[in-house]
Amino acid sequence: MTKELVAYLASKVVDNAEAVKVEANGDNYIIHCAAGEEGRVIGRQGRVIQAIRTIARAAAGPRERVQVDVAGASSKPE
């Protein structure tokens, strides 16, 4: 369920929603999008990706650890 939620949220902030793919490795989710649209998923000062992370963690439940990153973007680990 979390994978679909992350894909849905990411597809709503980009222009080419069909190009959004989410790769799941356990509790780690990596968002792949069209070239040049990584910035839209990250948002100004990382606000959009932080909101996606917050929603994904809330949907996962209290005992699950979830990490969401954007492919091709250099983000600082939490």
The domain covering 2-70 belongs, at the CATH homologous superfamily level, to K homology (KH) domain (3.30.300.20)
Task: Give me the residue label for tokens 């490795």.
Answer: 25
Rounded to an integer, the average pLDDT of 39-66 is: 92
Rounded to an integer, the average pLDDT of 33-37 is: 89
**For residue 53, is pLDDT > 50?**
yes
pLDDT at site 1: 82
Rounded to an integer, the average pLDDT of 8-20 is: 93
pLDDT at site 74: 52
Rounded to an integer, the average pLDDT of 46-71 is: 92
Given a contact cutoff of 8 angstroms between Cβ atoms, the answer to whether 68 and 33 are in contact is no
| Residue 10: count of CB within 10 angstroms of its CB | 25
**For residue 76, is pLDDT > 70?**
no
| Residue 58: count of CB within 10 angstroms of its CB | 12
Task: Give me the residue label for tokens 């917050």.
Answer: 54
